A and B are shown apart, each in its own frame.
Chain A
Amino acid sequence: MTTATLTQFPHLTEFEFIDACSELAFRCSRSHKERHDWLSVEVLRRDSIPYLRITKQLTTPNSTSPDTIHIQSSSHEDVERSDIEISSTKGTLDHNTEDAEIEDEDSEILNRTLHTSERSCPIVEYDILLSPVYRVPVLYCSIKDPQFRFPPTMDSLYRYIIPPSFKPQAEQSGVMGGITITDHPVTNSPVFFIHPCQTAAVMEAVSDRKGDMAPFEYLMLWIGAICSCVGLRVPLEVARSMIPNE
C-alpha cells in the first residue's frame, strides 16, 4: 500500500515519485488496453535516473478517419461526480476557457486508429522525470517516427502535440510559451517539455488537501493539471480505479 501523505508537498521526494510511477504502471497493467489510447506504461531507470515512460499513437489530422473507431466513454458521469475530477479531462493549467470546455467534451470520444502496421506508425513518447532542481515531476515528450517526419520543432509541437484549444494558453508564458524544446535529461537529445518553474504553485492551487494524499494521487492530479495541454490524459479506467470502494 502506498503512503498516505506527502512529506514535502507541493514537492515530491524521489521515493514518493518512484512510488507514484510504479503505482500508475501497475494499475495500467491491470486495465483493459483496448479501452484507452496508451500503448505502454513503464518505469525505467538509466544512469541512476528513474522515469516513467508512457507511449501512445500519434493522431495526426489525417489519421482520424476512415479507419478510426470512436469509443464512447460510458463512465464519464461517474468520474465527473467523483472527487478526482481534476485528474480526468477537466484539469488544465489554469481556468478553462469556453472553447476548451467544448473541446474537452469532444475529447471524451477517444480516437483510436486501427492500423495493421501499428509498429511503423509514429508514436508519442511521454517521459516523466523528477526535476532535481524544482523537486516536481516534469513532462518531456517527443514523436518517435521510423521515417523522422516529425522533427522536434515548434511547428511540430503546435501542429501535432498541442490540442488546438490549448494553443492560446500554451503561448502565454515565457520567452516563447510555456512549452518549448530542451535536451532530455537522460538522452540529451531535443524534446518538447513543459516548463516546471510554476508547477509547485499550480499543484498548491489545484489541491485543497495540501499534502494529505498518496503519491499516486499527486501524480494523477499533476497529469490532469499540467499534461492535458500536450495531449496526455489519464485513461478513465485507470482514474476510476482511484475511487474508493470500487
Chain B
Amino acid sequence: MTPPRDVTSRLRQSVWNGSIPLEIRLHKGDCITYDESEPYLVQFPRLSYLGLLIPKLHSFFSRNLIYPDVDPFEAWLSCDNVPLKWHYPLGLLYDLYSGTEPHPGEGRKEDAEQPGLPWRLRVHFSDYPTEQLIKLDAAGKHLHDLYINGVKEADYLRNGTGKTIMSLNKDDSTQLWESVKQHNFSLFNPINHKLLNPQGVNLRHMPIKLYLPHASTENQKEEPTPGSVRVMQALVPPVLSSRSPQTVGTALNTMVPTLFPSRRIPTVAQPVLHGAVLPLTVNVEDLLRTSTYSDGWLHITVSMMS
C-alpha cells in the first residue's frame, strides 16, 4: 500500500495498526490434563474484538478440553477473574483491566521494557457468566448486531440524523463488517471516509464514551461485580458556546467535574485512549478524525492518579 499522504490518514492508520500480544491459557477446570496446557500466543489488533478470536481458540484448545464437543460459543475470556466483554474492542479492555500504567505520551520511554506484556488471559469453556456477559452465537450475529448498533449511534450523534448510515448501500455495510472481521484497513477506510464526511451535514456531537472504575454508586443495592465499570456518555458539541473548539479537558470537565476539576491539567484522574494518556488540550474533533475505534466511538477510560 502507498504511504498515506497527510497526517490525519497516517495517524488513522497508526491507530488501526495498534496491537497487543496476548498469552491465552486454558482454564484449569476445562483442561483434561493436570498440568497446564500450552498457551495460545497471538498479536491481536487493539481495534478488533475477542469475539472474533473464539473459533480459533476453540480449535486450538479442543484437544485439551475435558469435553471436546463443547460448542465454541460456550467460550469466554477472563483477566484476573474479571469476565471480559467480547464485544468491547481489545484495546478498551486492555486499558480497563491490564493494570499497566498508560503511556505518558510526552516524556517518551520508548526503550523501556513494556511491563505487563504479553497480556495474560484465561479462556473458559464452562460456567458461562450469563449475568455479566452476552452469550456468543455460532454465526457471530450478536457481535455484528452490537457493532452495527454502535456504528449507528456514533453516526446519529455526529449528524443528528441516521441518514448517513442508512444511505450506505448493502455492499458498503457488508464491506464495513468484513473490514472489521478481517481487520483490513483498505476495506475499512473508504467506508469510514463516507461515514465521517457526509455531504451537507455539519458535525453535531462527538461520540465519546467514558469508562469509569465502579468505585461509587449512589444507590448501592447490588454489590458491584468485579471489574464492573460505569459507562458515561453525554451530548458533546464540537464547539463551545464561547466558539472555541471542544477539547478533551473541556468535555471531561463538563461530564465529570469531580474527576476533572481543571480543563487543562489532570489532577485527580487522567483520560486514556489506545493505551496513552490523552492531553487535556487536544481538540476533540481532531481525535474524532484520527483516533476513534472502528465503530466510530472514542472509548476513553479514566485512570485515577495516585
Contacts and interface: CB of A to CB of B under 8 A. Distances in A.
A47 B162 CA distance: 28
B85 A183 contact: yes
A1 interface: no
Chain B contact patch, size range: 20 to 34
Nearest to A44: B219
Most buried by B among A48, A154, A189: A189
A148 B162 CA distance: 37
Contacts of A148: 130-131
Given A132-B235, A175-B141, A181 B229 contact: no
Nearest to B157: A133
Interface string B144-171: 1110110011001100001000000000
Given A152-B130, A174-B145, A175-B148, A188 B231 contact: yes
Nearest to B139: A176
A-side binding surface: helix, strand, loop or mixed? loop
B111 interface: no
A175 B137 CA distance: 13
A132 B233 CA distance: 7
Contact of B145 (A132, A175, A183): A175
A235 interface: no
Interface string B217-234: 111001000001111111
A47, A133, A134: which has the most chain B beta carbons within 10 Å? Answer: A133
A188 B228 contact: yes
B70 interface: no
Interface string A146-190: 001001111000000000000000000011100011110101111
A182 B130 CA distance: 12
Nearest to A142: B131
Given A148-B130, A175-B148, A183-B85, A188 B229 contact: yes
B53 interface: no
B67 to A, nearest CB: 19
Nearest to A181: B134
Nearest to A191: B134
Contacts of A48: 218
A141 B242 CA distance: 41
A95 interface: no
A27 to B, nearest CB: 24
Contact of B217 (A46, A176, A183): A46
A153 B133 CA distance: 11
Given A154-B137, A195-B149, A197-B162, A190 B130 contact: yes
B219 A190 contact: no
Contact of B134 (A175, A190, A197): A190
Interface in A169-225: 174-176, 180-183, 185, 187-190, 195, 197
19 contacts: A46-B217, A46-B219, A47-B217, A47-B232, A132-B234, A133-B153, A133-B156, A133-B233, A134-B153, A148-B130, A151-B135, A152-B135, A153-B135, A176-B145, A180-B146, A181-B134, A185-B231, A188-B229, A190-B132
Given A180-B142, A181-B142, 7 more contacts: A45-B219, A47-B217, A47-B230, A151-B135, A176-B145, A190-B133, A197-B156
Which 5 A-B pairs rank lowest in CB-CB distance, beginning with the nearest? Answer: A151-B130, A175-B145, A190-B134, A176-B141, A133-B153
